[in-house]
Amino acid sequence: MKRLSQLTAQLSFQLRRLPERRLTLLLALAVGVGSGLAAVLLKNAIHFIRWMLTNWFNTPAESLLYIVYPGVGMLLSLLFVRYVVKADIGHGITKVLYAISRKKAKIKGHNTWSSMVTSAVTIGFGGSVGAEAPIVYTGAAIGSKVGQVLHLKERHIALLLGCGAAGAIAGIFKAPLAGIVFTLEILMFDLTMTSILPLLVSSVTATAVSFLLLGDVVQFPTGSISLFSMANIPYYISLGVFCGFASLYFTRGTLYVESLLKRIERPLQRWLCCAIGLGALIFLFPPLYGEGYDSLSALLNENVAVAMGETVFGSYRQETWFVLLFFGGVLLLKILSMSFTNSGGGVGGTFGPTLFMGGVAGFLVARLINLSGMATVPEANFALVGMAGMMAGVMQAPLTAIFLIAEITKGYDLLMPLMLASAVSFVTVHGFEKHSIYTKRLALRGDLITHDKDKAVLTRLSIQPLIETNFNAVLPEHTLGTLIKVVSRSHRNLFPVIDIRSHLLGVVLLDDIRPIMFDAGRYDSTFVRDLMQPVPATVEEYESMESVLNKFEQTGAWNLPVVSDHKYIGFVSKSKIFNAYRQQLQEFSYE
């Protein structure tokens, strides 16, 4: 171990001697290889586990294991996380955003493999989630770990984290452009030449690794896509509106269901409830098993019967009304199956379910239009465009949606409807919900980094390092004479007044006592409680920097006391915040 540490230190020293730009590109290449290999490994692990569990099914009785397997996978993942990892690794993309905003882009080393193991088990056993968020977390962790091992600056670690995330998306979808746009749009990196070149290198490298090991087959091959018709523009607009409201349902519904399930405090009891609920949903609606990509591919090739699976309602399969009701139920219940999986101990993301629900939404809109007699529209086209519309609404990332769907389906002939539906969906949902499903939790806590550089820098600042504690506190019953002795030992011009339990009561300013501080006749008759004045505002120890600056602006104060549970800790000054802001701005900028 000591020898390894010495070799790492020596390698770090040699690499840091390289010019900064060359070093960044070299490390981006390495991170691209690592994230590409991780994406390939995860996809193969999921397929292998699924094949091992289901390839021997021959009878309907054996097929009933489809409703049991997901619960088993959730339990295995739950136990692994609880007793091996011992850390929460769910909601991967949200955690990557949090690492950028609050953790100086540092992600723990176990995340380079723990999300892969748990998501492979969860999805391989049939959990109704996607593999994309876990692989993004894995890729980001690989990039972050490389930067940490080499003792790079925060901004370089953050850039390598972004390279890992871009490589993960590019590798798992074989979509290099989508990987770059995802990092810029969702992880909110600045678009500069210093950042774009490493992201490009990482994305292309990860895609090349994926093509080399998995072949050149696209994620969703389509054989039923028709040429775009201008006459269908109004219907694509209506699809965009529908996807916008479906995205709103997805975001708010998922967060609400997960909050309800969290009320079941005992993990095993929550797992049991979720396993039973997920099994029942899969029994009634087979497309909810696993990622649902087989059903989605069938819809993209206009094979509705295959997309429905071996449903217990098979006798109604040919009924027009049943097809609509069935896929309407799938669309509404997917958030339940996804929430059951994640809350029950499974590890997976919302990326895959978003694509699945988008395809179903597009198919439903097209089928309704065709049945209404208003027009005859290609259902496969609408399923493909619906994927982009749903992604643009749920992730509030229209560019990522457009380029990703075009790349993973080779649907470049539909770029115009892809752009149209994505834009309409984004505008629709943004009127009701300002944050994506990834950023809503962080925004509520004030931990969200944004493309607004001023707010982004403020988000990365923390109060704790700026607290000054060299203020001499006094008690309200102290006399003026005692206060003068405190003043003589102090280098500050204000003095916090606290009680015996350290609760902040007020403050005494040196300017207020200057007229009487040499009047010895008042030393024993004047008390601190007569001299103190209330503080204009207090700052909580973990309050957001944006909120703190608002308090400075509203009060006009230059120093504000910091408290925790009403107990005095110290003071924070406006000048120290501004100095920290300037330093952070220099670190935050890539050029």
The span from the CA of 523 to the CA of 543, in Å, is 39
Same domain, 86 and 33: yes
Sheet of 539-540, strands arranged across: 539-540, 559-564, 567-573
pLDDT for 80:
95
- Mean pLDDT to the nearest integer, 551-579: 88
Same domain, 389 and 411: yes
**Does any domain span residue 223?**
no
Domain boundary residue, one of 179, 214, 249:
214
Question: Residue 541 above 90 pLDDT?
Answer: no
The size of the chain, in residues, is 591
- What pairing do the DSSP bridges indicate for beta strands 567-573 and 559-564? antiparallel
Residue with tokens 């290198």: 201
| Contact present, 468 and 572 (Cβ < 8 Å) | yes
What is the pLDDT confidence band of residue 87, given thresholds at 50, 70 and 90?
Answer: confident
**Does any domain span residue 390?**
yes
Same domain, 431 and 346: yes
Residue 230 CA: distances (Å) to CA of 28, 365, 386, 413, 417: 42, 17, 17, 13, 9
* Identity of the residue numbered 106: K
pLDDT for 20:
72
Domain boundary residue, one of 433, 451, 469:
451
More confident position, 231 or 14: 231
**Does any domain span residue 271?**
yes
Query: Total domain count for the chain?
Result: 3
What is the pLDDT confidence band of residue 59, given thresholds at 50, 70 and 90?
Answer: low
More confident position, 341 or 3: 341
**Does any domain span residue 250?**
yes
Same domain, 534 and 557: yes
Query: What CATH number corresponds to the domain at position 475?
Result: 3.10.580.10
Same domain, 194 and 241: no
Domain boundary residue, one of 428, 451, 474:
451
More confident position, 203 or 500: 203
Same domain, 269 and 390: yes
Question: Residue 385 above 50 pLDDT?
Answer: yes
Same domain, 240 and 326: yes
Same domain, 130 and 254: no
Instruction: Measure the CA angle with vertex 273, ends 271 and 278; round to 5°.
Output: 90
The span from the CA of 338 to the CA of 257, in Å, is 10
Question: How many Cα atoms within 13 Å fall on the side-chain side of residue 204?
Answer: 8
**Does any domain span residue 306?**
yes
Question: Residue 36 above 70 pLDDT?
Answer: yes
Q: Lowest mean pLDDT: which of 243-257, 388-402, 508-522?
A: 508-522
Q: What share of the chain is helix, strand, coil (3-state, %, to 5)?
A: 65, 5, 25
Give the number of other CB atoms < 10 A from CB of residue 303. 15
Same domain, 430 and 377: yes
The span from the CA of 142 to the CA of 163, in Å, is 9
**Does any domain span residue 221?**
no
pLDDT for 427:
96
Q: Lowest mean pLDDT: which of 60-69, 205-214, 280-289, 351-360?
A: 60-69
Return the closest-CA partner of residue 530 out of 544, 541, 520, 516: 516
Same domain, 60 and 195: yes
Give the number of other CB atoms < 10 A from CB of residue 339. 26
**Does any domain span residue 564?**
yes
What is the pLDDT confidence band of residue 591, given thresholds at 50, 70 and 90?
Answer: very low
Beta carbons within 8 Å of 119's beta carbon, 6+ residues apart: 42, 46, 77, 129, 131, 134, 135, 347, 348, 349
Query: What CATH number corresponds to the domain at position 95?
Result: 1.10.3080.10
Same domain, 394 and 531: no
More confident position, 512 or 581: 512
| Contact present, 512 and 533 (Cβ < 8 Å) | yes
The string of pLDDT tens digits covering residues 91-130 is: 888 889 888 877 888 999 999 999 999 999 999 999 999 9
Give the residue ranges of DSSP H helices in 187-319. 193-214, 233-262, 267-284, 293-300, 304-308
Indicate the SS3 state at residue 497.
Answer: strand
**Does any domain span residue 220?**
no
In this prediction the pTM is: 0.80
**Can you give the residue range of the structural domain that contains 31?**
2-214
Same domain, 195 and 292: no
